[in-house]
Amino acid sequence: MIFTGGFATHDHVLLMRPDGGEIIDLMKDVDRNVGNSLNSDVRGSAPPIKLQWVNDWVYFIMMDGGSAKLVRAGVNGGVETVIGGERSIEDFVVMKDGTIYFISMDPLRPTELYRWFNGSEDRVTNFNDWVSSVELSRPEPFRFRASDGREVEGWLMRPAGFKQGIKYPAVLEIHGGPKTPTAIHSCSNSNY
């Protein structure tokens, strides 16, 4: 069950036993949102929220700043990261032997299929090896205080081929929150 308390609240994963009883918020102490609401220019809309129950764990994707990671929650509480990093997990499947297949992208590589087992991962597909032939801008995260004192996350993307001391035009894109951070996964080689 997914709880939605309105647009500006976090969606959480809830457990309700078939016999009724209490409803347990598996994300009770987590100030994050279930699902992947990152904006991206290499896919259409956000992937649907997916839950997979394996043994005593419920697996799902959870937002964390500019990343979407795969986590699992125990039926007795507690959320732990299974696959994290500065990337966007798009979809996943957990096999009975613990192997996880997942689709992921990061700022410098569009989506690929990966396999994770016992803490080790490898890429299964090579659909986007072409990106190594272009120069891309690596997003540089930074934080600042808003007028209300809250900390806000942002990213600076310098032009490909950036040289210190040269003035470049800039684009300021204000977009996001509280639940839709903009993670620019750009794969174009722009000349400035």
* pTM, two decimal places: 0.79
132 phi and psi, to 5 degrees?
-70, -10
Q: Has residue 62 got a pLDDT over 90?
A: yes
Question: Is the bond leading into 107 cis (omega within 30 degrees of zero)?
Answer: no
pLDDT of residue 112: 96
Q: Has residue 137 got a pLDDT over 90?
A: no
Amino acid identity of residue 18, one-letter, is P
The Cα–Cα gap between 159 and 128 comes to 21
pLDDT of residue 122: 96
Length of the chain: 192
pLDDT of residue 71: 96
The Cα–Cα gap between 70 and 104 comes to 10
| Listed residue (118, 116, 89) closest to 101, CA to CA | 116
CA distances from residue 43 to 38, 40, 47, 82, 93 in whole angstroms, order as listed: 10, 6, 9, 24, 19
Q: Has residue 81 got a pLDDT over 70?
A: yes
pLDDT digit string, tens, across residues 100-117: 999 999 988 999 999 999
The Cα–Cα gap between 167 and 162 comes to 10
pLDDT digit string, tens, across residues 18-36: 888 788 888 888 888 888 8
Looking at the DSSP bridge assignments, the partners of residue 152 are 144
Please give the share of the chain, as a percent, with pLDDT higher than 90. 38
pLDDT of residue 188: 30
Full DSSP string of 109-133: EEEEEEEEETTEEEE---TTGGGGG
Domain boundaries along the sequence of the chain: 2-130
Please give the share of the chain, as a percent, with pLDDT higher than 70. 86
Q: Has residue 89 got a pLDDT over 50?
A: yes
The Cα–Cα gap between 159 and 167 comes to 11
